Structure 1
Amino acid sequence: MIAFRIFAALMKALKKIASILYRIWVILIFSVFMIILLPLIVLPILLGPKYGSLTYFGLRLWSLIFSFFTFIRYSVVDKQKVDKSKSYIYACNHTSFLDLPGLVQGVPTQFRPLAKKELLKIPVFGLIVRVVTIIVDRSSAESRRDSILKLKRVLEEGISILIFPEGTQNRTELPLQPFYDGAFRIAIETKATIMPTVITNAGRLMPPSTLNLKPGRVKVIFGDEIDASEYSLKELPFLKEKVFNHMIDIIKKHDIKS
């Protein structure tokens, strides 16, 4: 019995050490290759939107390298539903910091995510956030209005945008948190097409608000596009409900928890 307890304690300690070493490895891979590819990611988009595809090539390359060396694999499901000739509002659930590499691999064209200003504080990554996203200060009504105007301009340029309608990473036991109105108001006002997008398993591999990490597989699943031009602002709640229910159906269909 004593020998068994010693063995169990030893295995627990080794598991903890392995977890710490893996976490350090992931952070190193994340940072080192982001620094190496920084010129390819940052410089093209500074020259103008038409060069943004080069920036997103750099981001996809970084994501593939990150995935290869960390054993965090990404599968893209129903990618054929995305029409490369269209610009979309990608409405996606948000489960983890691991969502972004999957979206970069899954979305076939360049896009502009709406990002919170706190991400600017992350070394190196913050610089990339500054040039490839639209920043919003959620505590400022003026910043929120300005970000909406910028998102509309991006759509008018024929570039897709990405919004997490839950507003933040899902820290609940629910498959989806209630949606905010912003993405759907923009969609109706610009007569855009919404592409419901679901990320799965990222939250289990890296839970929100932690640096706990483990290898595994993350899925990026595209739903059926929804034409917001068929809705008026008075019908916004119905559009929001339709997208929400469609994403819930995707989760149920794949028999997974977010």
Structure 2
Amino acid sequence: MRILLLPLRLLYFIYAALMFVALMLLVIPFVIAGSFFGKIKGGNFIFRVCMLWGDCWFFLVGIWHRNLYEVPNDRNKHYIFVANHISYLDAAIVVKAMRQPIRVLGKIEIGRVPLFGFIYRNAIVTVDRSSAENRAKSVRILKSVVNKNISIFIFPEGTFNMTNRPLKEFYDGAFRIAIETQTPIKPVLFLDSYDRMHYSSILSLNPGINRSIFLDEIPVEGLSSRDVEMLKQKVYNVMEEKLKYYKASWIKEQ
């Protein structure tokens, strides 16, 4: 049965890829225009354009996205958003989940992708994890963004979680920035991206429901640089517990 479905899945992927590229071509002029208005106003405009792109693409490919909030969400407040990372689709989900201007920390390699890379470089803050100097520069940029009351979004795992556990180990960056800028952490769970597009292949893309769960904020008032590890572990534990509670499908722990 699975073999019989392969041609249909391939046709669906080709259709989704064509829609992806076509919509990218439509938004590029607006991204170019936004790039002339500076990092703040221009960046906010570009992110809104990306939100519109996401709304159109998800609709056209039959992925029904829902944002669910365990507590009421205040869009006028800025946060350090952190989410689990397990699929290529996660990057696109960000513009569906985040309905307020933010800056995302992303891998520098994706910025080299033709067409999409141009939009990517203008919409996010890139980081080369192999370079300590580049990592430090990215942190400085993100801190300056937070100090302008704009939220930032980070995948603290750094790369795909290819284990059977709820999460991989976290990097320190998001939590160090949160403490140094005294900005609360807002954990987000991407529950269905693993099922919509498995990390092993972009050809696994398929339609269906896609949920983002916004958890309660975790305050950082009074914490110092000595508390980075404690804060990181606290956020990890909260997200791990909730992923188990919502029965994330990739968890295979005994």
TM-score, length-scaled by structure 1: 0.90
Cα distance, 1:223 vs structure 2: 0.6
Name the CA distance, whole Å, in 2 between partners of 1:135 and 1:144: 9
Find the partner of 2:60 among 65, 69, 81. Answer: 69
Name the CA distance, whole Å, in 2 between partners of 1:80 and 1:51: 31
Matched, 1:117 2:108: yes
Name the CA distance, whole Å, in 2 between partners of 1:67 and 1:22: 13
The superposition leaves residues 160-209 of structure 1 with CA deviations (integer Å, 9 ceiling, x where unpaired) of 11111001011111111111111111111111111111101111221114
Cα distance, 1:125 vs structure 2: 1.1
Counterpart residue number, 1:8: none
Q: Aligned runs of 1:1-258 on 2, under 5 Å?
A: 13-48=3-38, 49-78=40-69, 81-211=72-202, 212-258=204-250
Name the CA distance, whole Å, in 2 between partners of 1:64 and 1:83: 21
Unaligned runs of 5+ residues in structure 2 are none
Q: State whether residues 166 and 244 of structure 2, in contact with CA within 8 Å, keep that contact through their aligned partners in structure 1.
A: no
Q: Tell me, what secondary structure is at the counterpart of 2:77? A: coil
RMSD between aligned residues: 1.7
Q: State whether residues 75 and 100 of structure 2, in contact with CA within 8 Å, keep that contact through their aligned partners in structure 1.
A: yes
Report how many residues are paired. Answer: 248
Name the CA distance, whole Å, in 1 between partners of 2:8 and 2:153: 35
Q: Tell me, what secondary structure is at the counterpart of 1:36? A: helix
Change (3 A) 1:106 1:200: same
Cα distance, 1:152 vs structure 2: 0.5
The superposition leaves residues 127-148 of structure 1 with CA deviations (integer Å, 9 ceiling, x where unpaired) of 0111111111111111011111
Q: Which deviates the most, 48-57 or 195-204? A: 48-57
The superposition leaves residues 206-228 of structure 1 with CA deviations (integer Å, 9 ceiling, x where unpaired) of 11141221111111111111112
Change (3 A) 1:42 1:170: farther
> Of the two, which has the highest radius of gyration?
1
Cα distance, 1:56 vs structure 2: 2.3
Unaligned runs of 5+ residues in structure 1 are 1-10
Q: Which deviates the most, 47-56 or 234-243? A: 47-56
Name the CA distance, whole Å, in 2 between partners of 1:14 and 1:194: 46
Name the CA distance, whole Å, in 2 between partners of 1:37 and 1:85: 26
Name the CA distance, whole Å, in 1 between partners of 2:72 and 2:35: 27
Q: Percent identity of the aligned residues?
A: 37
Change (3 A) 1:95 1:183: same
Cα distance, 1:114 vs structure 2: 0.7
Q: State whether residues 45 and 132 of structure 1, in contact with CA within 8 Å, keep that contact through their aligned partners in structure 2.
A: no
Name the CA distance, whole Å, in 2 between partners of 1:81 and 1:50: 27
Q: State whether residues 102 and 219 of structure 1, in contact with CA within 8 Å, keep that contact through their aligned partners in structure 2.
A: no
Q: State whether residues 196 and 224 of structure 1, in contact with CA within 8 Å, keep that contact through their aligned partners in structure 2.
A: yes
